[in-house]
Amino acid sequence: MRIGIDIRLISKKRTGDETVFFNLVKNLAEIKSNNQYFLFTDRNPEKNRELKAEIDKLKLTDNFRVIFINSPSRFWWNLWALPNYLKKNPVDIFHTQYIAPFWLPKKMKLVLTIHDISFNFFPQFIKKSDFLFLKTLIPRSLKMATKIIAVSDFTKKEIEKYYHIPAEKIAAIHNGVDFELFNKNIAREKLEEIRKKYSLPEKFILYIGTLQPRKNIPVVIEALKILREKYNLQDIKLVIAGNRKAHNFDPKIDEVIENYNLQKSVIFPGWIDEEDKPALYKLARCFVFPSLYEGFGIPVIEAMAAGTPVVCSNIPVLGEIGKNAALFCDPKNSCEFAENISKILTDENLRNNFIEKGAEIAKKYSWQKNAEKTLAIYESLG
pLDDT exceeds 70 at position 303: yes
Per-residue pLDDT band for 124 (boundaries 50, 70, 90) equals confident
Instruction: Examine the domain organization and report whether 156 and 199 are in the same domain.
Output: no
273 and 314 together in one domain: yes
Shared domain for 371 and 300, answered yes or no, is no
Question: DSSP class of residue 207?
Answer: E
**Residues of the domain holding 118:** 2-176+366-380
Q: Is the pLDDT of residue 98 over 90?
A: yes
Express each pLDDT in 281-301 by its tens digit.
999 999 999 999 999 999 999
CATH of the domain at 307: 3.40.50.2000
Residues 42 and 14 occupy one common structural domain: yes
pLDDT greater than 80 at residue 13? no
**The total number of structural domains that make up the chain:** 2
- The answer to whether residues 141 and 203 belong to one domain is no
Q: Are residues 168 and 186 in the same domain?
A: no
Which CB contacts under 8 angstroms, 24+ apart, belong to 7-10? Answer: 7/39, 7/40, 7/41, 7/66, 8/40, 8/41, 8/42, 8/43, 8/74, 8/77, 9/97, 10/41, 10/51, 10/54, 10/55
- pLDDT at res. 49: 94
Q: What is the pLDDT of residue 125?
A: 81
With beta carbons less than 8 A apart as the criterion, state whether 20 and 44 touch: no
Q: Do 184 and 51 share a structural domain?
A: no
pLDDT of 150 above 70: yes
Q: Is the pLDDT of residue 245 over 90?
A: no
State residue 14's pLDDT score.
66
Can you tell me the distance from the alpha carbon of 78 to that of 75, in angstroms, rounded to the nearest whole number? Answer: 5
Domain match, 99 and 213 both:
no
What share of the chain has pLDDT > 90, as a percent? Answer: 92
> Closest Cα to residue 176, out of 26, 312, 379?
26
Claim to verify: residue 200 and residue 145 sit in the same structural domain: no
Q: What is the pLDDT of residue 183?
A: 97
Note the pLDDT of residue 128.
84
Q: Are residues 97 and 188 in the same domain?
A: no
Residues 229 and 306 in one domain: yes
Does the pLDDT of residue 254 top 90, yes or no? yes
Mean predicted confidence (pLDDT) in 131-158? 95
Cα–Cα dist 188/326, whole Å = 26
Q: Are residues 141 and 172 in the same domain?
A: yes
